Every structure is written in structure tokens, then in C-alpha cells.
Amino acid sequence: MNTRKCACFKIPWFKSACNSGALITCCETMAGAVFVFTLVVLMSFAADALDNGLALTPTMGWLHWERFMCNTDCKTDPDNCISERLYMQMADVMVKEGWKDAGYEYVCIDDCWTFHKRDAQGRLQADPDRFPSGIKKLADYIHSKGLKLGIYADLGYKTCGGYPGSLGYHEIDAQTFADWDVDLLKYDGCYLEWKLVGEGYINMSKALNNTGKSILYSCEWPLYVWPFDKPNYTAIRETCNHWRNYADVYDSWSSIKSILDWSAKYQDIIVPSAGPGGWNDPDMLVIGNFGLSHDQQESQMALWAIMAAPLIMSNDLRDICPRSKALLQNKYIIAINQDPLGKQGYQTSKGNDFEVWERPLSENRLAMAVMNRQEIGGPRRFFLAAAPGWELCNPKCNITLILPKYQELGVVPLQTDLMLPVNPSGTMLLTLTPLQNTLQDHKLRWNSTL
Ligand code: GLA
């Protein structure tokens, strides 16, 4: 009997009886059943998306928050303060250094851009010292580069950073953003009672729609509801183009791990709500900053691609190391993220300090990420056939390794002994294309809905 160990499922609503030490025969039978069942459940769409024609694939761009936060000190720190100069410079680099060509499109302002008072007509105004030309001019500049401008507001009486909120002003604010030709709104949920948050998000969604301009709508609705109640993802998907579920990302591996752990724990709730027009947002990519090793940066990039997450970087594109840049611009990873099938991937097994995350792709392919969660020792080899999705490779698959290094592994049969190394806190990313007569079977499985 084959006694190879295999990793097993940890889908919250259907736990398999086989643990990391179980025999592969047990896993083969149960994993097959659970895998197909899980796919069918997760692939059924919960609701219609917000019908503004935007975010048909996950949004790609840059946002100032994680890297530049609420730095308003342009006198002593002009290069890093929140000012029109910062976004203009970022836009320049995005065009010159291949970011735009790679797909990054939105240049986004976060909190702390406004003057502390509204104008006589009740409109928000940009801080005149830091944005002397005003937001409309900034939008014109960003548009002249072929890019789009994002802005930030909050549904409460103050933003999280203490600047004027949109409570009582959401219609004026939506119109102001439209008049300024803004392309995206990140709408935060600080300083309002949680029971009113849903209404606040819906009101702004309608107000944006009423302007007649297409403005991508980025929400944090579920994040502010989760501490008290299960969010209504049907309503969220109908209202927003993406939505933050969980805490702010920090420039640290513990932050990335906590986001991934949360996403896996609640995947049965959040995954079905994602699809063209509306996405779960696990927050910004912090790749290119200070806190992650290169392997950890690869893990964030790979898992954000599997999760069909918006790829919104928060880093300093004017000064970024070539390896991080190459990773963020990796066309194979971006292609997984932007796959037109628009299905969010999820964790399909966990065991022996490995996690397997899989995402169905167009043309009957599968993306697979294997993360080594062991933070001691060297690279550990993962037995490829232990991944739940491997069952699609009957009788064989064409395998492309994308991380840690691009490599065509060629055709691999179902009964393979292939073991591939994964660095501690790193992730191996690959795509599987089933070959021969499994195609039809495969197609049925991946395309089925309840
Ligand atoms: C909240 C959001 C962050 C950022 C800050 C700004 O914490 O979740 O992404 O926008 O507010 O104050």
C-alpha cells in the first residue's frame, strides 16, 4: 500500500477525517469528493455585481496609505508628504518604469488630503498648501499620462485620520468628485455607529451613480460590520466594486499571515461573493517596502493573485529594489490575478506546515500556490500529487512553474513522484493544464454552478 503522507482539507463546513499524517488512499477518496463538492459550492454566484461596468477584473494601481500614511509635513519632509507632487511623481514613474504597461492603472489618494474645513458651499477642498493646483488639475495631469485618479472619503462625521467626513454631505461629495473627474473613490467607515454603515455605503453608491460618471467604488463595509454581525455580502456586492473585510495591512509578515488566515477561515462566506465587477479586498500590496523578505513578498504576490484581490501597491515606486519591481510586474502572476473567468481561489488543504491554495482559471486551467508556513530550516519539498487539485491531472497535465522561477516543467502524469522545494515563508506558484480526454470532464467541473 502507498503510505505517502498528504495534506488534507480544511474547508470550514466540511472537514475531512484525514489529517496530515493520514494515508494517501484515505485522502484520495475523501479529497476527491470534498474537492468537487467545494468547487460547486464556491462557484455559485451569490448576487449581481454593482452594475457600473467597472472592475471586471481586479483593480490594479497604487495607493499612498501603507507607505506614506498621514504625513502632512511638507516643510521638512517634502518627498514623503501627502501632496500633489507625490501623486504626480508616482504617475510619472508608473509610465516610465513599466508599471502602466504591466496593468497598474489607478493612482490613489488616501486619507489626509483635505483642508480641515469645507468651503462656503459645503464642498470638500484639498489642503491648499499641499495641493496648490487642486484635485481637478491633478486629475487632468494623471489622465494626461493615461492613468486614473482615486480619492478617499469617509461615511462618518470624520475620516479615520480626523479630517472632515461625508456624513450629511455624501451627495455634494459625490458630485464634487465627479466634477473633479475622479475615477475611483475609497470610502472608509470610521466615526459612525456600525448599524448605519450599510446605509451609508448604499447612499454613496447611489450618489456616485447619480453623477452619471463611472467612478469605481472601493468600500470597507464588511470590515466595520464583522465585529458585531455577519455582513450581508449580497448587498455589498450589489453596492461596491471591492470591499475590505479585515484589518489594515502592515509592512510585516505577521500582518500578511493574519490576513491569509482570516481569508481562509471565512472563505465559505467571502469567496462566493467575488466575481467580475466585485472583489474581496485583502488590502494593499506592501511589496518593495521594509518588512518582508523576498520569499514573503513572493507569498503576498502569489496569494493575492490566487485570491483575485485588487493589486493595489503601497510602496515608493521612485525607489524600489529591482527584485521587488520584477515580482510586482511579473506578467504570469498578473495574468492569474486578472484571469477572465473571474473566480476567486481559496485554501484547499493544509497540513505538515504547508498550505495549498487553488484557483480555477479560464481554458480549464488551475492555478496552485503552495506556501511553506514553517519558519525554521531550509526549503522543504512538497509532493505535488498531494494537492487536491492534482486530481484534475488525469491522465496528465502540462505544468508551468511561475514562482520561485519561471520554468516549463512539461507534461506530468497523474502518478508522479514530483516533489518541488518551497522556501520557509515562501510560496511556489504554478499552473496546471489538464491534457487529453480529461478536458471535457474538467470543463464540466469548473464551470458547474448550483
Ligand atoms: C482606515 C483604513 C485604511 C486607511 C486609513 C486612513 O484605517 O482601513 O486603509 O484608509 O483608515 O486613515
What average pLDDT does this structure show over 340-366?
97
pLDDT confidence tier of residue 28, bands split at 50, 70 and 90: very low
What average pLDDT does this structure show over 151-162?
98
Q: Flag whether pLDDT at 91 surpasses 90.
A: yes
The C-alpha cell that represents 325 in the structure block: 519591481
The C-alpha cell that represents 80 in the structure block: 514623503
Amino acid at 368: M
The interaxial angle of helices 170-179 and 197-210, nearest 10 deg, is: 40
CA of 248 to the centre of ligand 1 (A): 7
Q: Flag whether pLDDT at 448 surpasses 60.
A: no
For residue range 277-295, what is the model confidence (pLDDT) as tens digits? 999 999 999 999 999 999 9
CA of 329 to the centre of ligand 1 (A): 25
- Nearest-CA residue for atom 9 of ligand 1: 248
pLDDT at 17: 28
- Which value, in Å, is the radius of gyration of the alpha carbons in the chain? 22
pLDDT confidence tier of residue 437, bands split at 50, 70 and 90: low
Q: What's the number of CA atoms in the CB half-sphere (13 Å) around residue 352?
A: 19
pLDDT confidence tier of residue 436, bands split at 50, 70 and 90: confident
pLDDT at 301: 99
Q: Flag whether pLDDT at 94 surpasses 50.
A: yes
C-alpha to C-alpha distance for 41 and 434, rounded to whole angstroms: 22
For residue 161, give the ligand 1 atom closest to its CA.
12
For residue range 49-61, what is the model confidence (pLDDT) as tens digits? 999 999 999 999 9
- Non-local (6+) Cβ contacts of 440 within 8 A are none
CA of 242 to the centre of ligand 1 (A): 15
Q: Flag whether pLDDT at 25 surpasses 70.
A: no
- Non-local (6+) Cβ contacts of 41 within 8 A are 13, 268, 272, 450
Other Cβ atoms within 10 Å of 251 Cβ, number: 18
* Three-state DSSP string of 363-379: CCCEEEEEEECCCCCCC
What average pLDDT does this structure show over 355-384?
98
- Nearest-CA residue for atom 6 of ligand 1: 111
CA of 377 to the centre of ligand 1 (A): 36
Contact 165, 159 (CB under 8 A): yes
Q: Which residues line ligand 1 (CB under 6 A)?
A: 65, 110-111, 159-161, 188, 220, 248
Q: Which residues pair with 83 in a beta bridge?
A: none
Ligand 1 site-directed mutation target among 70, 82, 111, 114, most atoms within 8 Å of CB: 111
pLDDT at 447: 36
pTM of the model: 0.90
Which of 228, 180, 176 shows the shortest CA–CA distance to 204? 176
Contact 343, 43 (CB under 8 A): yes
Contact 366, 432 (CB under 8 A): yes
pLDDT cut 70: percent of the chain above it: 87
Active centre residues (catalytic): 188, 248
For residue range 202-232, what is the model confidence (pLDDT) as tens digits? 999 999 999 999 999 999 999 999 999 999 9
pLDDT at 14: 26
Which of 80, 86, 77 shows the shortest CA–CA distance to 68? 80
